Copies of this chain bind each other. A is one copy, B any other.
């Protein structure tokens, strides 16, 4: 069976690349590491994907395609059910970030490995990676932005955009930095095993995000660094 072999090789490369890019970053990962971990020949990456950059693109495309179409159809469903009335902010936030966090427990969608790769990549403004993310994300972000505008008609649009931005940051960091911060500090987050921690991350994060989204609007006059 030729197809099985091809798929195996391609997917083994994608899996290895996903994991290694997550741990060491794009520039910190070599083709030899990838092909070695995937147990394929060095030339296989260039044969199947063309180049290292194309491999990175495919690593993202494989996961983001599903994630974002899921987000879109979830939003469509919510809006269909609401019959023209604005959605609740919590519904929107839940749909966007809940779908994302749901990947953590689903190894077939990339699991924590892909989530952490995505989290760290959002702060790496490498030119071609930004292009890939922009390509995959533009439509989804626009749809959710508009939904939030309708859900919060009294909040200035600029403020909503910023707070969406902050929510993305808190989330991406909550995922990507989970281990990093635990090492940076020696915080003992009580005795939660890792599945417990994961189960509880979503409600914890959601409370935080909604609290931030619905916070009182800032006052811009006479603001100083020391808060006086």
Contacts and interface: CB of A to CB of B under 8 A. Distances in A.
A181 to B, nearest CB: 6
Interface stretch (A2-10, A37-45, A52-60, A116-124): A116-124
A122 B134 CA distance: 22
Contact of A24 (B126, B161, B184): B126
Number of copies: 2
A1 interface: no
A98 to B, nearest CB: 4
A138 B181 CA distance: 10
A49 interface: no
Contacts of A162: 189, 204, 208
B174 A226 contact: no
Interface string A97-121: 0110110000000000000000110
Interface string A155-185: 0011101110111111111101101110111
Given A141-B185, A218-B204, A226 B166 contact: no
Interface string A18-44: 000001111110000000000000000
Contacts of A225: 94, 98-99, 101-102, 202
Interface of A: 23-28, 74, 90-91, 94-95, 98-99, 101-102, 119-120, 122-126, 130, 133-134, 137-138, 141-142, 145, 157-159, 161-163, 165-174, 176-177, 179-181, 183-187, 189-190, 192, 199-200, 202-220, 223, 225-227
